[in-house]
Structure 1
Amino acid sequence: METAINIALAGNPNAGKTTLFNYLTGARQHVGNYPGITVEHKQGCCLHKQQGLSIVDLPGTYSLSAYSSEELVARNYIIDSRPEVLIDVVDASNLERNLYLTSQFLELGTPLVIALNMIDVAENRGMEINAEKLSTALGVPVVPIIARSGKGVDQLLDTVIATARAEQPPQPTILRYGSDIDQALNEMIPLIRDRDLLTGSYPDRWVGVKLLENDEQVLAQVREREPELSLRLEQRCQEVTDHLQQTTGVYPEAVIADHRYGYIKSIMRRNIVTKKFVGDRLYTSDRIDKVVTHRLLGPVIMAGVLLGLYAFTFSSSTFLVSLLESFFGMLSTTVDTFLDDGPLKSMLISGVIDGVGGVLGFVPIIMFMFFGIAVLEDSGYLARVAFMMDRIFHSFGLHGSSVMPFIVSGGIAGGCAVPGVMATRTLRSPKERMATLLTVPFMNCGAKLPVLTLLIGAFFADHQARYMFLATLVAWVVALCAAKFLRMTVLRGESTPFVMELPPYRIPTINGLMIHTWERTWQYIKKAGTVILGISILLWAMMTYPGLPQEEVAAFQEQRQAISQDLQRNGGNDRQTALEALSARENSAALRHSLAGRIGIALEGISQLAGIEWRTNIALVGGFAAKEVIVSTLGTAYSLGDVDPDASDSLTQRLANDPAWNPVVALAVLLFIMFYAPCFVTVVCIARETSWKWALFSMSFNTLFAFMMAVGVYQLGMLLKLG
């Protein structure tokens, strides 16, 4: 087999790029972050006719202007990594808009193959596209495909391999931008070429265009390498800007964009697209949207979809969850049988099995939840949710683009606040971005799901789906109210307008759903087996050491011997029960005396206002590291505490039977966990995006706000005698 060809997939959002990537790579892919930037990227491989292909899925972007992190990452990867072939995935049903990004690839001069995707959608809309004419007009290969079914993909890969093996590298396409800009470029290009200014990375004309577009990244590179030449080039750019402002009232970047669209229109006029049907016509997506995004019916349908998602999740996962609980119970019993009492046995049972096992026990729920979300995402419905929520967001001082960070963070339970925080980079208004960034941690991320499921399952088992739906609704309401408060106080300012493109509805592919579900579930399992395992063992040690003083151990031992002697003489269940109760008291005393126990007891003076007892405090402190730790720590604390440590009851049963807990306490704890300080990784991410001042503000503001809510709910509930 020959050396693998390096390929990158690029294109607009919703053009089917990731669908093509999943079809090509299947399970042969991994997810990571681009160096220095927390933007997710996928890399995989495939084999075609004995030729290996290494494929990178770049972030979806509309241009290479580097206004957002996605645009910057896509451009930098193409420039720095220099893929042997760039596959530009173009939505055939929105050809003119998609070709704007294509025109920039052509200017960049990278080896390019256009995958004309969703030909079937275009045909359903009465459009017939002549791929050969389009290829001739653009000067690059164009291959019609249907990524969902794989139609045309073999021909695409044949073309990619042929392009990679071509002897002559492609030349950058030269577009004309009008007399003013073209004249400036003619003056700037010789200076750029003579000084070899960035020409090792970019075509010389492209550097000039970027300077006229006031591209911050290119400007910074030019200033660093050639300070004196930079002044001359920037002065010439400013002259062009001033002239255009005086004569037409626009900036150079607007003129450049207009001429790119003019170039695209000139191509489209060559009878490349033939419309079979004449007159106005509602497409299937439009017909559905008339109902789904209706001002009144839309929110009702959205609520029904979310409720259905949770009902599906819990009804489908019940058997598997009970199976896993039985497995970990059996594992705990096995370890207890074959190991002698001691620190190793305690760590394995209380730290590993009851801790990590408690987290892994929710894997079926997480898996089915992610599957449902993947269906909504791949079908195009999540984009409709964002569209509908925009109307509400403006009234709370946020931008419509804030919707997606909220959804990514867990607006439909199961996301993560870290990519949600990073997604706020697309917001242009600094204050809207800050308000969004500070409130996305209020969403029910995937880390909170096991905790919510645990408490809802223990105290509201008859209405799990309903309570999970209410938890999602409360998260949105609280986040929006908090955003409104921030926008009225520390982040005052006007909301900016929002424009959004709705992708057509699509039937999700089984392959795509399986890949998306497995990726997210595996990340959860991997985290439970690494981060959560490490923290669980650390917290077990904190809940075990220092042990009881020798005199207290001796006192318990004397009582145990006395009860045992009495039991041998007289027998009876009462004395056996007394022996078990003594062990429970000793366990509880040891936990109270431990480092973690002392911390939990110290906080109990305040936390008891919300009905939160000391063992739960230990879990909540651990939750600052990662929210899943709350479940594992509760499992460890109740395994080491005043219950039978050898009992095989699940943590859900232990909480439900504990006198310190009741539905009101559970509701107060649930609200506190939903809204208190973000996990440590999210805090670091907020600090990187803003400053440590705002990161610390997020921790303190969220925790204080969550505690006030928990106190209010607990005190009111107990006053009404609901506990």
Structure 2
Amino acid sequence: MIANERKIALLGQPNSGKSTVFNTLTGAHQHVGNWPGKTVEKVEGEFTRNSVKYLVADLPGTYSLSANSDEEIVTRDYIASGGAELTCILADASQLERSLFMLADYAGINTPAMLVLTMTDVSTAQGKSVDAEKLSQKLGIPVVSLVAPDKKSYGSFYQALEESMKTPKRLSADALTALYESGEQKKAYEKAISLVPADGIDQYSTAWLAAKLLEGDSVVAHKVSAVSDKEAVKAFLAENPDGSLYTSDCKFAWIESVLFGVVTKTRKDSQLLSKFDRAAISKRWGKAIAIGIVLLGIILSMVVAAPIMTVGGQIPTLLYPLVESIGLPAWLTSFINGTIVTALGWVFSMAGFVFGINLVFGLLEEVGYMARVSYVFDNTMNKLGLQGKSIMPMLVSFGCTIGGAAGTRVIDSYGQRILTIALAWAVPCGATFAVIPALTSSIFGGMGAIGVMLLIFAIMFLHIMITAKIFGRKLSPVEDRTGLIMELPPYHKPRWGSLLRTTVVRACDVFKKAFVVVVVVAAVFWALAYSGSGDMTGSVLYKFGKAIEPVTKFFGMGWQTFLAFVSSMISKEAVLGVTSVLFTGAGSIWEATATGAADANIGQIIAASISKPEALAFILAVNFNVPCLMALNATLHETHSAKWTVRIALYYIATALIISCLTYHIAGLFF
């Protein structure tokens, strides 16, 4: 680190505004990776102020600094290792009594700190007043207030940051320690003190280590055992199974004393919102309200995205003739149109949908409702090894898997984020609903089509449960699972300027990162599907499909349906167009994939060309195949892991073929 570089860390509970502060400070100057040896997202950025460059670590959002998850362990180890010179602890000013628990858990760590109060506009609207100066005197560290999305409110933050770098201050833990030493389990705490090194370990003070030892913190116990009497530590843990309840009571008592005379309230809560909130989080109505609002959100997202997606759909129509008019060789014209131009249209449409999803669901998050959805579905998602926050991405996937993948960024655990995406891929998207009914109604009739859709949903639930078991072992181990601990943020007015800026930035980011990936994949598929003769018989893909038909037949698909199955990995909408080309023998496989154009009677053509067992096997294989190329890229974008993206893709290709195989051979017994 050079002389004019300083390192700071942002620490806070979920919904504290931490990510918004990070984005406001760093803008586009940020990057994402993983912490070494952990499937935990590492977000870092930088900004410059008065010729000083500040390197910022956005630590994972957690509710405490206990060893309940990799996120919490990574967070506190980074702080204690000296990775940052200063920790900025963020707390929601609209509910300080609850959000200061992180501060109480930090007390005793010797890394300098400052407290940043966010949501001050919300607290003001609630009629709450916070005396930051008095709070600073009680804590012994700087306390500043700001509105996270409003950069104009950051003046006091920058001033306190510069002063803290010159004269760092540590959070006073004396009052909290006094509570540990005077309560019902004071003897147990004194025993813990005797086991801990007098000068602490790293940046952890003796008082902090003793409290964590009393809580039964396994990581701290291991650290202490390495420098103390191992057997004595083991015996202490066995003798004090309820220590965490004691320390929690002490922390909440400390918070109450700290806030005494600091927070005043002059206005009552809204009766209307209180009545709605009781219904929104109730066992009777909560899930129904959540599903209704999410489905309405999907529809609104489509409405918002429609104009942008329409423009994306017109890009190839406008540019194809332009490229053809240049007079390039036929193969080069086909390549440019089939890769760069087609990818431009696809990715522009994808960015439009990402814009719509992020705007609508960002609005629900902004006003405070999405936390309620997580709360009411927490018990349901626990059965899959997930927390309630995973339900929203899965519901959004009924509209589009891209939106489902983008929605996982609200999930704190990196492993659970990947697992949620893996499960969301099993959910039929809107494009599937546009393709499958057109085929099933022609092949199986009206009632048969309903039966097929019910079968798809039954397999979906089974698929989700099996996938959760397989991937959950690695991504969400049973021993690491904890219940959802969360604060329900207060409802408040959206900050439209910040919401729009964030939405536009995300859509542009998706466009930039997706375009190159899509062009590369499109180029490979174009090369396989290109035929110099102008029809499909000259393509590598056609020859490959014909050559391996004996193998694909075992899985229930002839060469035509298998090639259409392959095309569904690019786009579900392509299935009708590709099957039209394959069964009529007219046209180019790639052009059909890119445009989705199909014969008007494609359902009847397929019904007359293949058996019902093969048709059913093909329909299920398409439905449970890789959702589409855009979803694949969205998964890569959100997980930042090519390894996991490829694993999930190969898993879905394999399971789609297994489902197809079983369906074909079982259906053959009845048709």
Question: For residue 71 of structure 2, what is the aligned residue in structure 1?
Answer: 70
Pairing of 1:244-255 with structure 2 (within 5 A): 244=240, 250-255=241-246
Decide whether the 8 Å contact of 1:672 with 1:710 is kept in 2: no
SS of the equivalent of 1:274 reads strand
1:410/1:69 CA distance change after superposition, 3 Å: farther
State the Cα distance separating 1:130 from its structure 2 match: 2.3
In 2, Cα distance between the equivalents of 1:213 and 1:252?
5
Question: For residue 562 of structure 2, what is the aligned residue in structure 1?
Answer: 614
Of the three residues 324, 330, 337, the one matched with 1:349 is 337
In 2, Cα distance between the equivalents of 1:527 and 1:712?
43
Q: Note if 1:264 corresponds to 2:294.
A: no
In 1, Cα distance between the equivalents of 2:604 and 2:222?
59
In 2, Cα distance between the equivalents of 1:133 and 1:302?
41
State the Cα distance separating 1:496 from its structure 2 match: 9.3
Of the three residues 254, 267, 274, the one matched with 1:286 is 274
State the Cα distance separating 1:256 from its structure 2 match: 2.8
In 2, Cα distance between the equivalents of 1:488 and 1:171?
44
In 2, Cα distance between the equivalents of 1:526 and 1:473?
39
SS of the equivalent of 1:613 reads helix
RMSD of the alignment, in Å? 5.2
Aligned residues: 626
Q: Note if 1:170 corresponds to 2:170.
A: yes
SS of the equivalent of 2:252 reads helix
Decide whether the 8 Å contact of 1:64 with 1:72 is kept in 2: yes
Q: Note if 1:503 corresponds to 2:492.
A: no
Structure 2's unaligned 5+ residue stretches are 441-451, 608-613
Question: For residue 624 of structure 2, what is the aligned residue in structure 1?
Answer: 675
SS of the equivalent of 1:7 reads strand
Question: For residue 424 of structure 2, what is the aligned residue in structure 1?
Answer: 443
State the Cα distance separating 1:158 from its structure 2 match: 0.8
Q: Note if 1:114 corresponds to 2:105.
A: no
Structure 1's unaligned 5+ residue stretches are 245-249, 428-432, 461-470, 549-582
Moved more, 11-20 or 115-124: 115-124
Q: Note if 1:237 corresponds to 2:196.
A: no
SS of the equivalent of 2:107 reads helix
In 1, Cα distance between the equivalents of 2:47 and 2:494?
22
1:120/1:437 CA distance change after superposition, 3 Å: closer
Pairing of 1:462-481 with structure 2 (within 5 A): 480=461
Decide whether the 8 Å contact of 1:93 with 1:119 is kept in 2: yes
Decide whether the 8 Å contact of 2:150 with 2:498 is kept in 1: no
User: In structure 2, what residue type is equivalent to 1:443?
Assistant: A
C-alpha offsets along residues 638-681 of structure 1, whole Å, 9 cap, x if unaligned? 99995545998894551355736889999987764553468697
In 1, Cα distance between the equivalents of 2:115 and 2:22?
14
Q: Note if 1:514 corresponds to 2:500.
A: yes
User: In structure 2, what residue type is equivalent to 1:590?
Assistant: S
1:445/1:289 CA distance change after superposition, 3 Å: farther
In 1, Cα distance between the equivalents of 2:619 and 2:367?
32
SS of the equivalent of 1:107 reads coil
Of the three residues 211, 215, 218, the one matched with 2:217 is 215
Question: For residue 335 of structure 1, what is the aligned residue in structure 2?
Answer: 323
Pairing of 1:286-685 with structure 2 (within 5 A): 286-293=274-281, 298-299=286-287, 301-338=289-326, 340-341=328-329, 344-354=332-342, 357-390=345-378, 397=383, 402-408=387-393, 411=396, 413=400, 414-415=402-403, 441-443=422-424, 452=432, 455=435, 480=461, 500-544=486-530, 584=534, 586-591=535-540, 593-595=542-544, 598-599=547-548, 602-603=551-552, 606-608=555-557, 613-620=561-568, 623=569, 642-644=585-587, 651-655=594-598, 657=600, 659=602, 672-676=621-625
Moved more, 150-159 or 133-142: 150-159
1:126/1:630 CA distance change after superposition, 3 Å: closer
C-alpha offsets along residues 135-175 of structure 1, whole Å, 9 cap, x if unaligned? 11111111233334457421122111111111x55377352
User: In structure 1, what residue type is equivalent to 2:101?
Assistant: Y
Question: For residue 24 of structure 2, what is the aligned residue in structure 1?
Answer: 23
Decide whether the 8 Å contact of 1:85 with 1:110 is kept in 2: yes
Decide whether the 8 Å contact of 1:9 with 1:21 is kept in 2: yes
In 2, Cα distance between the equivalents of 1:31 and 1:426?
12
SS of the equivalent of 2:375 reads helix
Decide whether the 8 Å contact of 1:359 with 1:632 is kept in 2: no
Decide whether the 8 Å contact of 2:425 with 2:626 is kept in 1: no
In 1, Cα distance between the equivalents of 2:10 and 2:152?
17
SS of the equivalent of 2:38 reads coil
Decide whether the 8 Å contact of 2:114 with 2:143 is kept in 1: yes
SS of the equivalent of 1:63 reads coil
State the Cα distance separating 1:62 from its structure 2 match: 0.9
1:86/1:706 CA distance change after superposition, 3 Å: farther
User: In structure 2, what residue type is equivalent to 1:262?
Assistant: A
In 2, Cα distance between the equivalents of 1:473 and 1:381?
31
1:271/1:454 CA distance change after superposition, 3 Å: same
1:390/1:423 CA distance change after superposition, 3 Å: closer
In 1, Cα distance between the equivalents of 2:9 and 2:596?
51
In 2, Cα distance between the equivalents of 1:451 and 1:642?
25
SS of the equivalent of 2:108 reads helix
C-alpha offsets along residues 234-276 of structure 1, whole Å, 9 cap, x if unaligned? 32223333443xxxxx4333333332223223323x4223343
Decide whether the 8 Å contact of 1:619 with 1:633 is kept in 2: yes
Decide whether the 8 Å contact of 1:332 with 1:349 is kept in 2: yes
User: In structure 1, what residue type is equivalent to 2:187?
Assistant: D
Pairing of 1:45-194 with structure 2 (within 5 A): 45-48=46-49, 51-80=52-81, 82-150=83-151, 152-166=153-167, 170=170, 173-174=173-174, 175-176=177-178, 177-178=180-181, 179-190=186-197, 193=199
SS of the equivalent of 1:271 reads coil
C-alpha offsets along residues 565-617 of structure 1, whole Å, 9 cap, x if unaligned? xxxxxxxxxxxxxxxxxx55x433435554366457852564449x9723313
User: In structure 1, what residue type is equivalent to 2:367?
Assistant: S
Decide whether the 8 Å contact of 1:686 with 1:695 is kept in 2: no
* TM-score of the superposed pair, with normalisation by structure 1: 0.70
In 2, Cα distance between the equivalents of 1:353 and 1:338?
14
SS of the equivalent of 1:108 reads coil
Decide whether the 8 Å contact of 1:134 with 1:267 is kept in 2: yes
1:358/1:198 CA distance change after superposition, 3 Å: same
Moved more, 92-101 or 646-655: 646-655
* TM-score of the superposed pair, with normalisation by structure 2: 0.74
- The structure having more radius of gyration, on CA atoms, is 1
SS of the equivalent of 1:66 reads coil
1:424/1:482 CA distance change after superposition, 3 Å: farther
User: In structure 1, what residue type is equivalent to 2:561?
Assistant: E
State the Cα distance separating 1:700 from its structure 2 match: 5.2
1:534/1:660 CA distance change after superposition, 3 Å: farther
Decide whether the 8 Å contact of 1:62 with 1:100 is kept in 2: yes
1:28/1:653 CA distance change after superposition, 3 Å: same
Give identity over the alignment, percent.
23
